[in-house]
Structure formats: structure tokens, C-alpha cells
Structure 1
Amino acid sequence: MSQPVPPPNQPHDAQPGGNPFAGQQPGAQPGGNPFAGQQPGAPFGGAPFTPPVPVRNNIGLGLAAAVVAAVVAAAVYGAIIGATKHEIGYAAVGVGFVVGFASGKVGGRNPALPVVSALLSLVAVYFGQLLGEAMIAAKELPVTVSELFFDHFGALNELWKADSNFISYLFFAVAAVAAFSGAKKAAG
């Protein structure tokens, strides 16, 4: 018996032993690779993947963002202390992280920003604790918080020293570490 022979213009005739459906695949190339026409990094024929824009390295903006974050975080931390009459460790971590994150996100990878963020977080925790002491004392004394904070700062500082303990100083260290790591993570 004889077998039917395909006409000579069929695609599998041009590729001996090859894929008989190679000519029918959309986008098929002469080597039989249907993905040969695509751009590298574009698995479905779309635009190739572009990496994100690198973070800016602007120390001035990073410092400004860190200062603003430190002022806001100190006010919030002081309000928490004033409302609860206790220092809260997570709040100190939050102060440090917010200061570091703001400086790293805005300022970029400048190596000075994590160090400056750690120092600013120390200042923010200190002023937050002072503000909390002023809020607590203002409830018991016939003065306002702002009057106590600005007019009687020396007495407020002495009150803070008398009230502080090991935990108060531990919160400084925790906030500084959180600020340093927050700046590194936000910049990277």
C-alpha cells in the first residue's frame, strides 16, 4: 500500500524531522522558537521590566524631613506620656523609626543620615518625655503646659531627672537603634 505524500509546499517539508506545526504558530521564527521575537524580560510580549528609579541622595532634604518628623514624633510621644502617665517603649521605638524612615526615604543613601537620625531621635524622645512631664504637672499645678515648658524649663528638667530611671534611658537607646535601622531600610 502506498501512503499519501504531502504536497511539497507544506511547512514540515522544509524542516526534515521537525515540527509539522511550526509554520502555524503565531510569531514563530525560522528556528522554531515562538518566543524569539519578544524582548528580554517581557514574558508576555509587553514592555520590558524597568527597575525603579533610584532613591535620591539629597542630605539637605533628608535632614529637613528628619527634623520635622522628630518634632511631630516628640509631640505625639509627649501626648501619650501625658495621657497615660507612663512611658511606653513601643512609642519610643515609633519615635525613632519615624525619624529614621523620614530621613532615609527623602534623603536617600547618604551615610550621615542614619547617624543624624539616631541623634535626632534622642532629642525627640527627651523632649517628648519633658512634654509628658509638663502635661502631668500642669494637671496638678495652676500653670499651663506651655508656660511650664517655656517659662520654667529648668524646673521641668529637674522634675524629669527626679522621675527618670533606667527604663527612661533604655528608651533613648531603643529609639536611636530604631532610627538608625529605619533610615537604612527606607533608603535601600
Structure 2
Amino acid sequence: MSQRYPHPSEPAPEPDSALLGVLAAVIVALIGGVVYGVVGGTFHVEISWAAVALGFFTGYVSGKAGGANPVLQAAAAVFSIGGVYLGELVIAALITSQDLNIALTEVFLSHSGLVGETWDLLFRDKFTVLFFALGAAGAVAGVRKGGAR
């Protein structure tokens, strides 16, 4: 019984696991959202290229993990919007924490209403929609780049 090994010139079979790609998108969006929030909170601004980067990396890792499955474009776009929103909430929490001179964990656990009010005052405008759209567009481009083999 001889086992046939693929010839080096033959392409390896493509993994196509949408579930793995979606899971990767969730994890990267969460981590990226926190990083985006910390960077933005440090400088007290939204950063457009950071929203694009968050979306792109969410999509890219999702495409690498899940292959060229078209479902991943939509999933990565949705989760990147969630990541950008999480990042903006972290920015709002950092600003609230600094303004009130209380610990960040206390802001999240005991004063979450203030975080929402700060987000409404600082980020609820036409640019927020733009940042969500930039993150989603970056995610779609990332899936296309990461899923192409």
C-alpha cells in the first residue's frame, strides 16, 4: 500500500471553515476594539485609519482562518463595526475616568451610564457612521486579501 504524497507543484487543499473564520473575526474585533480604544483614549480622538486597520485585520484573519467563504465578508464587516463601537466606548470610558479621577474598572462597572452619555456627547455624529463604514469596508477588503489563496 503506497500513500500518494502531493507533488510540490500541486496546490494544497484549501480549508474552508466558515465557523473558524467567524470565530477569528470575533476575537480580532474584540482585541482590536480594545486597542483602538486605548490609542484613541490616550489622545482623546477617533482615529480614522485605526478604524480601517481594525476592520482590515478582522477581515484578513477571518479570511486566513476560514478560507474564501463569502459569508465571512458579511460576518467580518459586522464584527468590525462592533469592534469600532467597542473602541469608541473604551475611549469614552477613558475620558470619563480621567475627568472624574476614578479607576477605569469602576467606570465600566459602576458608571456605565456615564460612558454612554460621554459617547453620545463626543461621538454620536455623522463621522461615527463614517468610521463604522470604514471599518466594514476594511473588513471586506481584508477577507478578500486573506481568503485568496
- TM-score of the aligned structures, taking structure 2 as reference length: 0.88
User: For 1:54 and 1:73, how far apart are their aligned partners in 2?
Assistant: 30
Q: Deviations over 1:3-59 (max 9, x none)?
A: xxxxxxxxxxxxxxxxxxxxxxxxxxxxxxxxxxxxxxxxxxxxx761442431011
Alignment counterpart, residue 43 of structure 2, candidates 74, 78, 84? 84
Structure 1: 5+ residue stretches without partners: 1-47
Give percent identity, aligned residues only.
36
Q: Deviations over 1:62-85 (max 9, x none)?
A: 111111101110011001111111
Query: Match of 2:12, SS?
Result: coil
Task: Go from structure 1 to structure 2 and tell me whether the alpha carbon gap of 1:49 and 1:158 turns closer, same or farther (over 3 Å shift).
Answer: same
Q: Tell me the CA shift for residue 113 of structure 1.
A: 0.7
Checking the alignment, whether the CA contact within 8 Å between 1:55 and 1:187 is kept in structure 2 is no
Q: What is the aligned partner in structure 1 of residue 90 from structure 2?
A: 131
Task: Give the letter for the 1:110 counterpart.
Answer: N
Task: Go from structure 1 to structure 2 and tell me whether the alpha carbon gap of 1:147 and 1:55 turns closer, same or farther (over 3 Å shift).
Answer: farther
Checking the alignment, whether the CA contact within 8 Å between 2:93 and 2:115 is kept in structure 1 is yes
Q: What is the aligned partner in structure 2 of residue 177 from structure 1?
A: 137
Q: What is the aligned partner in structure 2 of residue 115 from structure 1?
A: 74
Larger Rg: 1
Q: What is the aligned partner in structure 1 of residue 4 from structure 2?
A: none
Task: Give the letter for the 2:54 counterpart.
Answer: V
Alignment counterpart, residue 105 of structure 1, candidates 64, 70, 93? 64
Task: Give the letter for the 2:75 counterpart.
Answer: V
User: For 1:150 and 1:185, how far apart are their aligned partners in 2?
Assistant: 39
Q: Find out whether 1:167 has 2:127 as its counterpart.
A: yes
Q: Alpha carbon RMSD of aligned pairs, Å?
A: 1.5
- Please state which structure has a larger fraction of its residues in helix: 2
Alignment counterpart, residue 99 of structure 2, candidates 135, 140, 143? 140
Checking the alignment, whether the CA contact within 8 Å between 1:101 and 1:182 is kept in structure 2 is yes
User: For 2:96 and 2:89, how far apart are their aligned partners in 1?
Assistant: 10
Task: Give the letter for the 1:105 counterpart.
Answer: K
With 100-109 and 162-171 compared, the bigger mean Cα shift is at 162-171
Q: Tell me the CA shift for residue 121 of structure 1.
A: 0.4
Task: Go from structure 1 to structure 2 and tell me whether the alpha carbon gap of 1:73 and 1:50 turns closer, same or farther (over 3 Å shift).
Answer: same
Structure 2: 5+ residue stretches without partners: 1-6
Q: What is the aligned partner in structure 2 of residue 95 from structure 1?
A: 54
Q: Tell me the CA shift for residue 183 of structure 1.
A: 0.7
Q: What is the aligned partner in structure 1 of residue 16 from structure 2?
A: 57
- TM-score of the aligned structures, taking structure 1 as reference length: 0.70
Q: Which has the higher contact order (CA 8 A, sep 6+)?
A: 2
Q: Tell me the CA shift for residue 98 of structure 1.
A: 0.8
